[in-house]
Copies of this chain bind each other. A is one copy, B any other.
């Protein structure tokens, strides 16, 4: 009767992670994020999520309520994961020019390597942002990065290396714009402009973006 005695063989992963609520919830969230990112809100299928998460559908409803709530959880999760990645970015000891170059390269690689984040933003904005407005703490999730940018801008301005009228949020939006678009619109760009959005192209782009920003930051602000 030692069929049901995994004690003696804890290593055997025959029954992966049964009866572990937290793990189940995590798997569901991961699968949901992938599914919503791949097919949008309406195109996502609860059946598929259940299957990919190796749980039954009722578990999803018991943990998350309904599709809408699951979507919100997935959207929030995409921000949480992005933020975890951003923690690795260290700009403190860099010159403004190096910091910009690092930030651009990082942001671009970040978007490329986490395409579900880009897809979730697309999906959410398509639907009018109803969900993100209901997630209270999204602003806080992103703030450390902005703070980091503010620091190096202040340092550079104090050292007289760059202009002193640059808002960190505006700069971030600029960088994000330049990095987001080629990733988000990869397929239409390729079809319309025959541009192959591959690693080489992206590397060149990162360099060009950095050049442009550096040039702009160095310049003295207009007299107006």
- Are B181 and A177 interface neighbours, CB within 8 A? yes
Asked if A157 CB lies within 8 Å of chain B CBs, one says no
In the complex, which residues 76-91 of chain A have their Cβ closer than 8 Å to any Cβ of chain B? 79
Question: Which of B126, B181, B209, B222 interacts with A181 by CB under 8 Å?
Answer: B181
Asked if A50 CB lies within 8 Å of chain B CBs, one says no
- Are A125 and B191 interface neighbours, CB within 8 A? no
Query: What B residues does A119 contact at CB under 8 A?
Result: 126
Copies in the complex: 4
- Are B40 and A123 interface neighbours, CB within 8 A? yes
Asked if A54 CB lies within 8 Å of chain B CBs, one says no
- Are A129 and B212 interface neighbours, CB within 8 A? no
- Are B122 and A125 interface neighbours, CB within 8 A? yes
Query: Which of A79, A169, A192, A211 has the most B CB atoms < 10 Å from its CB?
Result: A192
Asked if A26 CB lies within 8 Å of chain B CBs, one says no
**A117, B139: Cα distance in complex, Å:** 28
Task: Answer whether A188 and B124 are a contact pair too, CB < 8 Å, given A177-B177, A195-B169.
Answer: yes
- Are A187 and B128 interface neighbours, CB within 8 A? yes
Query: What B residues does A121 contact at CB under 8 A?
Result: 185, 188
Asked if A41 CB lies within 8 Å of chain B CBs, one says yes
Asked if A180 CB lies within 8 Å of chain B CBs, one says yes
Asked if A112 CB lies within 8 Å of chain B CBs, one says no
Asked if A160 CB lies within 8 Å of chain B CBs, one says no
**A212, B163: Cα distance in complex, Å:** 13
Asked if A56 CB lies within 8 Å of chain B CBs, one says no
Query: What B residues does A194 contact at CB under 8 A?
Result: 139
What are some 20 contacts across the A-B interface (CB < 8 A)? A40-B127, A42-B42, A122-B122, A122-B126, A124-B187, A132-B187, A132-B192, A138-B191, A142-B192, A170-B205, A170-B208, A173-B182, A177-B178, A177-B182, A180-B181, A180-B185, A184-B184, A211-B222, A215-B215, A215-B219
